[in-house]
Structure 1
Amino acid sequence: MSSNTVAIGTHTLNYRIDGQPGHPWLVLSNSLATDHEMWQPQIDVLTRTHQVLRYDTRGHGMSSAPDGPYEFDHLVSDVIALMDALQIETAAFMGLSLGGMTALGLALEHADRIDRIICCDARSDAPEVYKQMWPAMIGKAREAGMDALVAPTLERWFSEEFRANPANRPALDRTGDMIRRTAVEGYAGCASALMRLNYLPRLAEISVPAHFIVGELDPAAPLEVMRDMAAATPDAQFTVIPGAAHLSNIERPDLFNKTVTGWLGRA
């Protein structure tokens, strides 16, 4: 395994590689206000069959935060530039929330480099009510710092049952730490990209195998929204993770991992 930084234009991306050389590549992309460590519950199982590349989205984790606002074209091109730097010709790609939206952009624009996608707990458009929430969130981060977003974000990201169980305190604390170490400019830049999200009209153009996964209780990417996304994507698979909210990979890693490894094995 290795953890390194690579220059991508005017900024740097932090990345980590796990797994055995020679296995097919799988790239993992984090949600808004987390970093590559959000995928830790998946690494043991995914590295049995894949060489796994995790990276911190620009402005997150240990990646630098260029001046915003950002566009999804920027986030998509970052992935291709990272793959180029590491001499990765093709890879499967899995992302959650912001990372899942990045997966859609990659499938649409770089089907020659991305051979399949798993899009988790993500939207493909930004309806007006969704757009309107972000300026206040950005303003809160700029005025009070990322710590001010920890409590309300954890409340949205995890079910009440999960948050009430003392055994899950370490997972909540680790997630809170990821939020705190997100650069304000990175958060604001990526949130601005979310406000202009508009992949929904193009989902029918996706030509690579796609699997949509959503937590049953996800308020940010509701089950019905993701079911419609899957229906609009040719031959896509759709799976609901029972009892999970937004970070379904952390809340129900058992079911999430079984779903992902099963589909990757069949695909």
Structure 2
Amino acid sequence: MKVAPDGTHYELSGPVDAPVVLLIHGLGLNQECWQWTTPALTDSHRVLTYDLYGHGGSAAPPETPSLSLFSNQLAGLLDHCNIDRAVIGGFSLGGMIARRFAQDTPDRAQGLIILHSPHKRSGAAQDAILKRVDQAREMGPSSTVEAALKRWFTEPYRAANPAMMETVRGWVTANSKPIYHTIYRVLASGIDEIVAPDPAISCPALVITGDEDYGNGPEMTHAIAAEIQGAKAVILKGLRHMALAENPDAMNRPIRAFLDTLNGAP
């Protein structure tokens, strides 16, 4: 594991001279969630994964968490690694950060891969997530994780894969109670910054969700794609929020096809 000057823990894998893909995990997780994705990419791409501030091995947020703070963390990591441009991929909160980064520094985003990420929520959905933020503030990440696992994985998969449930549960519950809810609030309240951006994001984009991802579903994915000229939306059948872990092949195939197209592969 490498550490940047700001305390960001990161890993680089794949050919040194290959095009770069940077992957941003979601709330409460860490860069280990890309363990099912990275192997599908590293034969032809340099893959950069890292822990967001307040997650995994990285330092605590140096200021009140915001999409801009995380966008700046991303830019600083690229600078530290001497990477000018990359395809930016993000899962859930990571997809929000990816869009914020593409708005802040459009010349550095070669493309976007936005996975299971929100668009504007209904009033009821917004109230529900704000209640979870308050629950996390009062009782910590362990108070929200069991309901999250039900939202994130299909019922048959949860029943058949207790070890996966324990792994993901461990990632979430390892988060610091005083910090976790402050980042959760970014997921809840940061969406207005990245809906209908002006100027619009113009780089190539792939937007994916599962048809059973009830918090970040097909309607949101199509709405995100509609705001990025030429973006492609993909809806994975029979999968919920953490499709990247439940069915890696279903996720990796469209990601790899998108990257190959960007880099001129036949």
1:101 Cα offset (Å) = 0.8
Map 1:1-267 to 2 at 5 A.
3-8=1-6, 12-66=7-61, 69-164=64-159, 166=160, 168-194=161-187, 195-198=189-192, 199-202=194-197, 205-267=200-262
Identity of aligned residues (%): 27
For 1:26 and 1:134, the matched residues in 2 are separated by 30
For 2:139 and 2:44, the matched residues in 1 are separated by 43
For 1:13 and 1:233, the matched residues in 2 are separated by 30
Post-superposition Cα deviations, 1:176-220, rounded to whole Å, max 9, x if no partner, equal 111011222332222222213211121771111011001110011
| TM-score after normalising by structure 1 | 0.91
What SS is found at the alignment partner of 2:5? strand
More displaced 10-residue stretch of structure 1: 191-200 or 125-134: 125-134
What SS is found at the alignment partner of 2:36? helix
CA-based RMSD: 1.8
Checking the alignment, whether the CA contact within 8 Å between 1:216 and 1:223 is kept in structure 2 is yes
5+ unaligned residues in a row in structure 1: which ranges?
none
Checking the alignment, whether the CA contact within 8 Å between 2:120 and 2:220 is kept in structure 1 is no
Count residues in correspondence: 260
Do the aligned partners of residues 126 and 70 (structure 1) sit closer, same or farther apart at CA in structure 2, a change above 3 Å counting? farther
Do the aligned partners of residues 185 and 210 (structure 1) sit closer, same or farther apart at CA in structure 2, a change above 3 Å counting? farther
More displaced 10-residue stretch of structure 1: 141-150 or 70-79: 141-150
Post-superposition Cα deviations, 1:48-105, rounded to whole Å, max 9, x if no partner, equal 1111110111111111223664211111111001111111111111111000111111
Counterpart code for 2:177 = V
More displaced 10-residue stretch of structure 1: 241-250 or 143-152: 143-152
Counterpart code for 2:179 = G
For 2:100 and 2:134, the matched residues in 1 are separated by 27
1:240 Cα offset (Å) = 0.9
| TM-score after normalising by structure 2 | 0.91
5+ unaligned residues in a row in structure 2: which ranges?
none
